[in-house]
């Protein structure tokens, strides 16, 4: 209770001890130790104890000082080791990045090598196919040459046969013209016989008419005879003359009929002969037409073979001269049959293969050009990406080192001790993170959440000022940065701002008086009347001069 007593207060215990804040009154009793001397001896013993404790305290202070020196040395050594670790970590990161880039380039080279191998295999297959096609073409050429020789022999035979058939045709044409002349004469004779036959038939009809007239006359005469016998003898004579004339006419008519029948028989024979001749002429014409078509086909085939030989880059006469003399038709025919069977096994011939090959060749040239352009563009992009990665790593490393150095310098100034540094979370500088390691003096924190609000604010200020110093601007605005800080920390904060204000103009918003004392210009808002605000500006240097006057 004595510690809580005021200057005018005191306490009396049940034992009679009267106690004040800074005094004590004890009633005398039978206790021998309650005297003044005993208390003096106690005081002396306590003083000796105090001196001993003071000596112990000095020794402990010296031990603490030595421990602090050892701690500083250990922290210095730790900082050096941290720098060495950061340097080693940076080197490892760069080596890791180079290794990753080398692996990427190796993978690209492997993929390109595989692509080149595939293209090589394709080209080798195309080359083998072209060689096979060339061999087949040579075989077809040899077959064509053999067929050309056979066709040449056949053409010569056909030419001779055509000449013979031409002579036969000419003779047949002469015979046909003679037969046509004979047929024409026979037609004229037949026409004359038809005319005579018609005249004979007309005479016969006239005779029949006369006979009917005579019969009529006879009937009249019979009627007359019935009336009288006088003119009977005369009429009978006349009748006999008429009958003899009739017999002559009938004899002439029979002769004419025989002649007509003979003429018709001759006409029929001539017609049959004409038909046979015309049939022979038609057969000769058809044979000539077939021979002409066969010769035309042989000529077209020979011209086609010559064109194929010319297109193949060969000449007919040199090939004919270089032809093996021991080659026979049977051997070449057997080879041709074998080739034909092989061709049949290959399937139908693609007549558009040459055009397709030319089109695909043009397309391949175009695709090769596109592939070369893409490869070049890809190489350019890869070089650009590698250059950007190198520059990014270099600039990031430079920026990281500068900011790390800045926070290592700013943190002890703001905290009056302690250490802070930046640490990378990964090996690759392109996607690594950054961790802020801060240890205020007297703390061994394992997490930033263990720091107080002011310590967090000072750590953030140290980091922001380190970044700001890396790329400064003419102005810097601070909005109540000093709000969570106490007076000691505000003073250190103001010292840093004052030092940096030599290069940067600061505009800060604050309610702290210590921070306001640092400013050269003060601008505030006041309200003398309710609802009416007013802006007030003060130049601190001019105000100091006015106060001094």
Whichever domain contains 444, its CATH number is 3.40.50.300
Examine the domain organization and report whether 231 and 122 are in the same domain.
Answer: yes
Q: Is the per-residue pLDDT at 381 higher than 90? A: yes
CB-based burial of residue 466 (10 Å sphere; 0-12 exposed, 13-18 middle, 19+ buried)?
A: buried
- Between the CA of residue 6 and those of 12, 22, 273, 316, what are the distances in Å? 15, 10, 178, 143
Model confidence at 485: pLDDT above 70: yes
The mean pLDDT value of the chain amounts to 79
pTM of the model: 0.38
Q: Does the residue 182 lie in any domain? A: yes
Same domain, 302 and 395: no
pLDDT in tens, 343-358: 777 776 666 777 888 8
- Residue after which a domain boundary falls, among 423, 443, 471: 471
Among residues 471, 495, 524, the one where a domain terminates is 471
What is the reported pLDDT for 487? Answer: 86
Are 391 and 332 in the same domain? Answer: no
Query: Is 307 in the same domain as 387?
Result: no
Six-digit token pair at 363? 């397309």
Same domain? 403 vs 303: no
Looking at the domain assignment, is residue 128 inside a domain? Answer: yes
Does residue 389 share a domain with residue 288?
no
Helix (H) or strand (E) holding 539: strand 532-539
Q: Tell me whether residue 280 is in a domain.
A: yes
Q: Provide the 3-class DSSP secondary structure of residue 451.
A: coil
In sequence order, the β-bridge partners of residue 434 are 424
Q: Which residues contact 386 (CB under 8 A, 6 or more apart)?
A: 101
pLDDT band for position 90 (cuts 50, 70, 90): confident
Give domain status of residue 535, yes or no.
no
150, 6: one domain: no
Q: Within this chain, do residues 339 and 398 fall inside the same structural domain, yes or no? A: no
Does residue 525 belong to any structural domain of this protein? Answer: no
Query: Does residue 378 have a pLDDT over 80?
Result: yes
Quick one: pLDDT band at residue 179, thresholds 50, 70, 90? Answer: low
Of 471, 496, 515, the residue that ends a domain is: 471
Is residue 81 a part of any domain in this protein?
no
Instruction: List, in sequence order, every residue forming a beta bridge with 438; answer none if it has no partner.
Output: 420
Residue 26 corresponds to which tokens in the numbers above?
A: 């004890």
pLDDT of residue 230: 52
Task: Please tell me the predicted confidence (pLDDT) of residue 539.
Answer: 84
pLDDT of residue 116: 67
Q: Which residue has the higher pLDDT, 167 or 340?
A: 340
List Cα–Cα distances, 17 to 32, 101, 155, in angstroms.
16, 90, 163
Residues 495-522: what's their mean pLDDT?
A: 88
Q: Residue 469 and residue 403: Cα distance in Å, rounded?
A: 8
Q: Is residue 482 domain-resident? A: no
Question: pLDDT (tens digit, 9 = 90+) per residue, 15-51?
Answer: 778 888 778 877 655 555 555 566 677 788 888 888 8
Angle in degrees, CA 493, 468, 457, rounded to 5: 40
Say whether both 210 and 282 belong to one domain.
Answer: yes
For residue 471, give the 3-state DSSP assignment.
coil
Closest alpha carbon to 469 in 392, 518, 409: 409
- In this structure, the answer to whether residues 156 and 219 fall within a common structural domain is yes
Domain for residue 291, yes or no? yes
Burial of 242: CB neighbours in 10 Å, binned 0-12, 13-18, 19+:
middle
DSSP state letter for 434:
E
Domain count of the fold of the chain: 3
Q: What residues make up the domain containing 170?
A: 113-343
In angstroms, the CA 430 to CA 393 distance is 7
Asked if 313 and 231 sit in the same domain, the reply is yes
Q: Are residues 216 and 296 in the same domain?
A: yes
d(CA 24, CA 18): 6
């Amino acid at each position: 209770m004595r510690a809580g007593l005021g200057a005018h207060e005191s306490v009396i215990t049940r034992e009679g001890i009267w106690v004040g804040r800074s005094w004590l009154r004890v009633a005398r009793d039978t206790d021998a130790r309650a005297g003044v001397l005993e208390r003096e001896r106690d005081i002396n013993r306590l003083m000796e104890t105090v001196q001993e404790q003071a000596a112990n305290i000095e020794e402990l202070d010296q031990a603490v000082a030595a421990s602090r020196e050892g701690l500083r040395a250990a922290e210095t050594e730790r900082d050096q080791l941290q720098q060495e670790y950061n340097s080693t970590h940076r080197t490892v990161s760069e080596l890791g990045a180079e290794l990753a880039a080398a692996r990427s380039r190796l993978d690209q080279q492997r993929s390109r090598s595989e692509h080149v191998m595939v293209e090589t295999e394709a080209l080798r297959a195309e080359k083998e196919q072209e060689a096979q096609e060339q061999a087949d073409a040579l075989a077809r050429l040899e077959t064509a040459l053999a067929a050309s020789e056979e066709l040449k022999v056949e053409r010569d035979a056909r030419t001779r046969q055509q000449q013979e058939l031409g002579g036969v045709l000419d003779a047949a044409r002469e015979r046909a013209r003679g037969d046509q002349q004979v047929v024409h004469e026979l037609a004229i004779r037949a026409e004359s016989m038809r005319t005579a036959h018609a005249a004979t038939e007309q005479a016969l009809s006239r005779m029949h008419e006369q006979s009917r007239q005579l019969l009529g006359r006879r009937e009249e005469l019979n009627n007359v005879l019935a009336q009288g016998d006088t003119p009977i003898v005369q009429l009978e004579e006349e009748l006999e003359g008429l009958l003899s004339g009739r017999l002559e006419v009938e004899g002439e008519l029979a002769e004419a009929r025989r002649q007509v029948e003979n003429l018709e028989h001759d006409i029929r024979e001539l017609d049959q002969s004409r038909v046979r001749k015309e049939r022979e002429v038609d057969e000769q014409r058809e044979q000539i037409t077939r021979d002409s078509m066969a010769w035309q086909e042989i000529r077209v085939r020979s011209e086609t073979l010559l064109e194929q030989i010319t297109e193949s880059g060969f000449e007919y006469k040199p090939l004919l001269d270089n032809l093996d003399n021991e080659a026979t038709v049977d051997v070449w025919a057997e080879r041709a049959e074998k080739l034909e069977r092989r061709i049949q096994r290959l399937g139908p011939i693609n007549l558009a293969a040459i055009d397709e090959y030319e089109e695909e060749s043009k397309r391949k040239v175009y695709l090769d050009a596109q592939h070369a352009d893409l490869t070049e563009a890809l190489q350019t992009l890869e070089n650009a990406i590698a250059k950007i990665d190198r520059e990014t790593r270099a600039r990031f490393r430079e920026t990281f080192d500068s900011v790390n150095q800045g926070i290592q310098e700013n943190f002890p100034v703001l905290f009056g001790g302690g250490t802070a540094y930046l640490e990378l979370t990964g090996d690759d500088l392109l996607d690594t993170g950054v961790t802020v390691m801060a240890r205020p003096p007297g703390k061994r924190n394992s997490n930033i959440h263990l720091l107080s609000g002011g310590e967090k604010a000072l750590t953030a200020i140290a980091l922001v000022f380190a970044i700001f110093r890396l790329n400064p601007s003419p102005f810097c605005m601070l909005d109540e940065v000093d709000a969570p800080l106490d007076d000691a920390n505000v003073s250190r904060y103001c010292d840093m701002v004052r030092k940096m204000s030599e290069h940067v103009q600061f505009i800060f918003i604050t309610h702290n008086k210590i921070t306001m004392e640092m400013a050269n210009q003060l601008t505030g808002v006041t309200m003398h009347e309710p609802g009416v605000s007013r802006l007030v500006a003060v130049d601190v240097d001019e105000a100091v001069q006015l106060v001094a006057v």
